[in-house]
């Protein structure tokens, strides 16, 4: 049986709950087609959770990873498989820091290393798994379980080389400046470890409302993270002088508000104080934005637009060759790279068309944003085209990324109706060649919705990752939902 074509047959109806997105063994997203499904998922409703055929890999254990974990199972304990002993030891050390009286042991299983955590350590083990993205991938689990054949190591090395070269050409730099990691958050973990060697024991400063784990990782795993939503560079200057942080972190653009800070101005202020700048260009992409003159480190979730298929987890970390700390940062980050052979090969294959595919995604998102802005049911559309700071970083002929968010005039009730009626696939992640929708705050900040609203993120905001559907067909689907 052929895989489901989500461009023409999206997973949007109640019967699609739990369907892998895409229809593939290593899918990284899962269908939550109705608003009530999202709530049930967040409330850990057994009927919803049991219907899921997969899960976003950092939010839990992929079924293949779960199967491997069962080999180290012990009643009352949780098991978290890692690809290397170093990663498992980092998770164990985190548990011991957070819960000194807890127990967390390392168990070798089928060439992997599992962290087995007791009840007291388990919440911290789960947090480390989610925030860092260092866990075992589904492809590694499939190989360890003998469900899939291990690829030739030479082919894996060739794939990593090709991907790094492909990224280097996109960013107009050298492949030697780039390392590959198990996830975008793993790339951030490497960046945070590196800046801690420069400025140990300090908090980070996040500018602009961020993707949840970009903020949570420094807060939970490292030495703290402060969030600032500046209205001017003087706000940034005051925060830098007060905090003297390990680094400044920015998103290009932010998720889900899709705006940028003045990166050039921020970098000037930070660098004058000896503070490095870390940028996340996952949404904007290196094809569209040139952040290298200003950011010392750029991390990217390659799972998203770079791969585009939604069935491989990976991340990259780029050290700017013009950074004052370039050599030191390269030494620190290259040693933490560990993208597996199987995942590297899948990533290389998926990203071969990135230069053709991403501009099409960007163009389709722009068309949809403009049409939503003109619809009488829509109160507000958030898209990078409206952000001068994003435009200041754009390369010649570039686009704005595949993501947009919007609010409806009818508030929460209207948002639920539109979401349920919308004939596109619905679930976490972005950058896939098929469109994906989610009620962002409900999915990312369910336990802190009021806090998110104080930061300008409405609880009923709808976020759309626009795919390669024909623009007219996609608009018909949105228009029908908006008129429901």
What CATH number is given to the structural domain containing 306?
3.40.640.10
Quote the pLDDT of residue 2.
64
The CA–CA distances, whole Å, from 204 to 56, 120, 171, 248, 402 equal 26, 28, 25, 6, 28
Q: Are residues 129 and 261 in the same domain?
A: no
Mark whether 176 and 249 lie in a shared domain.
yes
Residue 336: band (very low, low, confident or very high) from pLDDT cuts 50, 70, 90: confident
Alpha-carbon span 183 to 190, nearest angstrom:
11
What is the pLDDT confidence band of residue 443, given thresholds at 50, 70 and 90?
very high
Q: Is the pLDDT of residue 393 over 70?
A: yes
User: pLDDT tens-digit profile of 107-146?
Assistant: 999 999 999 999 999 999 999 999 999 999 999 999 999 9
Kindly state whether residue 281 falls inside one of the protein's structural domains.
yes
Domain termination site, one of 351, 373, 394: 351
Residue at a domain's end among 318, 351, 384: 351
Q: Which residues pair with 439 in a beta bridge?
A: 462
In a domain, 433, yes or no: no
Q: Which two structure tokens, joined as six digits, stand for 458?
A: 């409405």
- 321 domain residue, yes or no: yes
Q: Does a structural domain hold residue 445?
A: no
Q: What is the pLDDT of residue 174?
A: 97
Residue 117 covered by a domain: yes
Same domain, 206 and 95: no
In this structure, the answer to whether residues 178 and 216 fall within a common structural domain is yes
227 and 92 together in one domain: no
Binning pLDDT at 50, 70 and 90, where does residue 334 land? Answer: confident
User: Is residue 33, in this structure, part of any structural domain at all?
Assistant: no
Residue 117's CATH number? 3.30.70
State the total domains in the chain.
2
Query: How large is the average pLDDT for residues 86-93?
Result: 97
198 and 122, same structural domain?
no
| pLDDT score of 256 more than 70 | yes
What sign for the dihedral angle of Cα 5, 155, 429, 73? positive
Distance CA 425, CA 467 (A): 10
Tell whether 212 and 125 lie within a shared domain: no
Average pLDDT over every residue of 183-189: 97
Banded model confidence at residue 1, pLDDT cuts 50, 70, 90: very low
Do 215 and 297 lie in a common domain? Answer: yes
In a domain, 261, yes or no: yes
Across all residues in the chain, what is the average pLDDT?
Answer: 97
**Res. 65: pLDDT tops 70:** yes
Which of 351, 368, 383 represents a domain boundary (last residue)?
351
**pLDDT for residue 338:** 86
Say whether both 96 and 213 belong to one domain. no
Q: Is position 367 within any domain?
A: no
Is the pTM higher than 0.75? The answer reads yes
Residue numbers of the domain that contains 197: 153-351
Say if residue 166 is in the same domain as residue 123.
no
Question: What's the pLDDT at 81?
Answer: 98
pLDDT, one tens digit per residue, over 377-389 is 999 999 999 999 9
Regarding whether 110 and 253 lie in a shared domain, the answer is no
pLDDT at 57 > cutoff 50: yes
261 and 339 share one domain: yes
Backbone phi and psi for residue 420, each to the nearest 5 degrees, phi listed first: -65, -30
């Amino acid at each position: 049986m052929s895989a489901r074509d989500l461009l023409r047959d999206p997973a949007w109806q109640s019967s699609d709950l739990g369907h892998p997105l895409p229809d593939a063994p290593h899918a990284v997203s899962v269908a939550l087609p109705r608003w009530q499904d999202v709530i049930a998922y967040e409330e850990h409703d057994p009927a919803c959770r049991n219907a899921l055929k997969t899960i976003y890999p950092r939010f839990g254990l992929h079924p293949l990873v779960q199967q491997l974990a069962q080999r180290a199972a012990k009643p009352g304990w949780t098991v978290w498989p890692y690809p290397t002993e170093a990663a498992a030891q980092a998770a164990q050390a985190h548990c011991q820091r957070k819960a000194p009286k807890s127990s967390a042991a390392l168990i070798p299983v089928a060439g992997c290393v599992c962290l087995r955590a007791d009840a007291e350590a388990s919440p911290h083990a789960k947090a480390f798994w989610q925030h860092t993205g260092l866990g075992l991938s589904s492809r590694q689990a499939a190989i360890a379980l003998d469900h899939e054949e291990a690829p030739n190591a030479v082919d894996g090395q060739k794939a990593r080389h090709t991907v790094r070269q492909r990224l280097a050409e996109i960013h107009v730099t050298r492949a030697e400046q780039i390392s590959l990691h198990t996830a975008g958050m793993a790339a951030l973990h490497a960046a945070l470890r590196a800046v801690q060697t420069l400025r140990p024991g300090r908090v980070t400063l996040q500018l602009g409302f961020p993707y949840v784990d970009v903020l949570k990782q420094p807060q939970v795993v490292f030495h703290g993270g402060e969030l600032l939503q500046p209205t001017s560079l003087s706000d940034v200057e005051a925060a830098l002088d007060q905090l003297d942080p390990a680094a400044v972190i920015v998103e290009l653009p932010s998720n889900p508000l899709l705006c940028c800070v003045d990166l050039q101005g921020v970098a000037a202020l930070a660098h004058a104080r000896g503070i490095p700048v870390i940028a996340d260009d996952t949404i904007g992409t290196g094809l569209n934005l040139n952040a290298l003159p200003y950011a010392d480190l750029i991390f990217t979730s390659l799972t998203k637009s770079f791969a585009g298929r939604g069935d491989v987890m990976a991340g990259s970390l780029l050290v700017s060759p013009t950074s004052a700390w370039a050599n030191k940062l390269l030494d620190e980050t290259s040693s933490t790279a560990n993208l597996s052979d199987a995942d590297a090969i899948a990533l290389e294959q998926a990203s071969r068309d990135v230069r053709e595919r991403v501009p099409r995604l960007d163009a389709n998102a722009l068309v949809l944003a403009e049409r939503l802005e003109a619809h009488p049911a829509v109160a507000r559309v958030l898209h990078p085209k409206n952000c001068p700071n994003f435009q200041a970083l754009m390369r010649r002929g570039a686009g704005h990324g595949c993501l947009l968010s919007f609010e409806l005039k009818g508030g929460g009730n209207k948002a639920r109706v539109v979401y349920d009626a919308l004939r596109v696939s619905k679930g976490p992640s972005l950058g896939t060649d098929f469109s994906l929708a989610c009620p962002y705050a409900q999915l990312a900040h369910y336990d802190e919705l009021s806090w998110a609203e104080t930061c300008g993120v409405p609880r009923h905001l709808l976020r759309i990752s626009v795919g390669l559907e024909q623009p007219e067909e996609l608009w018909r689907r949105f228009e029908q939902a908006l008129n429901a």
